[in-house]
Amino acid sequence: MTSKFTVNHVLVAAAIVGASGVGYFVASRSAPKQADPAAKAAAAASAPKREAPELKIPAEYVTAANIGVEAATASDVRNELLLPAVVSAAPGAEAAVVSRANGTLVRVMRRLGDTVAAGEVLASIESLEAASMVSDRRVAQAKVELARKTLAREKSLFDQGVTPRQALEAAQADVDVAEAEAQRAAAVAGTARVSNDGRTLTMVSPIAGRVTSSTALVGARVTPDVELFRVAKPGAVQIEAPLTAEDLRRVAVGDAATVLSRSGKPVPATVRGLTPGVNASTRAATVVLVPNDGPGAQALLAGEGVQVRLHARSDASQPGVAVPEEAVQNLDGRDVVFVRTPEGFRVQPVYVGVRSGGLAQVVSGLQANQQVATRNAFLLKAEAMKNAGEDE
């Protein structure tokens, strides 16, 4: 009895010891090993670097989404001036058409928005003054003919020794006076563009362009020097922006500038002129810019409100790279820009320094003249975030 109990206890103890040994072996093989920090860093350094992801976006989507693309410029953000401005017609590109006499509008040939050529008739006015102009012209011409005949007769008599030289000289003076009066009468009638019958006078466009303003109404009474039409040449514009006295010292004729219209498309421009001082009432000077030739200049309309980015001169030899502030987007906690590629855009991480005047200065990660998305760049950010979510 005693031996049997002892044997059973020995077997049970051996089984417990064996099970614990097996459990320790399995646990030791299955437990994860602690990673060595040095080995982990070395592996990360030796691993190939991932290239910046590229968003393959059709050009049709870029156009439809109104995504703007602009070249990064080598500039110091601290020398950039962002100013409100107004587009106005360039000198000689706009003309007012007025009546030269009292009368009544009997015909209106052109309306608001019509394209006209130089010298084209815009309206006709029936006027009593037109008849007076024609009459004065005819009377003056008749006086010229009479004076010339008198001069011829006096010259003949002088050659025969009948009349003195004083009579000949007086006749010559009468001719000169009559011709001057005839020229004046002809100029008055010609300026008013009086018809041959003396009943009406016409209003013509002095320049080729488009009718931008019209108050002409058939049957309306008109008076001299009242503007009835305004004609302007499309695309012939200049941009005027206010400058403080401090900023005036930083800008010079010939400096480069960028005009930002409401559509967001940048238009290169050049400073054409500056007022020599500030206005006493507004405390501001005026800088006048002309857009460079191109399709962007043709899109600017007189009277339109725009923004002007003046690239003031800097003494720095390496000013850095500047992009519009809206080009910089925050993606996964990092500042990025979207660089244009043949098939879309590449996500490019950048380090941004100073932000001023609607611009951001890129310290590293971007080179001058690289094309980046500016307007509506947030749409590309949304696309990049969607692609990242799909990859996960």
Read off the pLDDT of residues 291-338 as tens digits, 9 standing for 90 and up: 987 777 777 887 888 888 887 665 554 567 888 888 999 988 899 999
Distance CA 126, CA 136 (A): 18
Q: Are strands 115-116 and 256-260 parallel, antiparallel or unpaired?
A: unpaired
Q: In the predicted model, what is the mean pLDDT of residues 145-149? A: 93
- Using DSSP's 3-state secondary structure scheme, residue 164 falls into coil
Q: Is 50 exceeded by the pLDDT of residue 6? A: no
Strands 209-214 and 227-232, how do they pair?
antiparallel
Lowest mean pLDDT among 133-142, 159-168, 188-197, 202-211: 188-197
**Residue 40, H or E segment:** helix 37-46
**How high is the pLDDT of residue 41?**
39
Average pLDDT score, the chain: 80
More confident residue, 48 or 170: 170
Q: Are strands 121-126 and 344-349 parallel, antiparallel or unpaired?
A: unpaired
Helix (H), strand (E) at residue 71: strand 69-71
CA 134, CA 187: separation in Å to the nearest integer? 11
Contact 154, 119 (CB under 8 A): no
DSSP state of 194: B
Angle between helices 165-192 and 128-159 (to 10 degrees): 160
* Average pLDDT value for residue range 178-187: 90
And the tokens for 327?
């080009």
pLDDT given at position 234? 78
Q: What is the pLDDT of residues 198-255, one digit of tens each?
A: 788 888 899 998 898 888 888 889 888 788 999 988 778 899 999 888 888 888 888 8
Sign of CA dihedral 110, 111, 116, 119: positive
Residue 197 has pLDDT above 70, yes or no: yes
**Sign of the alpha-carbon torsion through 242, 296, 348, 389:** positive
Q: What is the tens place of the pLDDT at every residue in 370-390?
A: 999 998 899 999 988 887 766
pLDDT at 314: 55
The predicted model scores a pTM of: 0.53
Q: Which residue has the tokens 């310290």?
A: 363
If residue 238 lies in a helix (H) or strand (E), which one and from where to where?
strand 237-243
Whether residue 147 has pLDDT greater than 90: yes
- Of 79, 69, 74, nearest to 368 (Cα)? 74
What are the beta bridge partners of residue 115? 210
**Res. 145: pLDDT tops 90:** yes
- Interval 47-86: pLDDT, tens: 444 455 788 888 888 888 889 888 888 776 666 788 889 9
C-alpha–C-alpha distance, residues 61 and 386, integer Å: 16
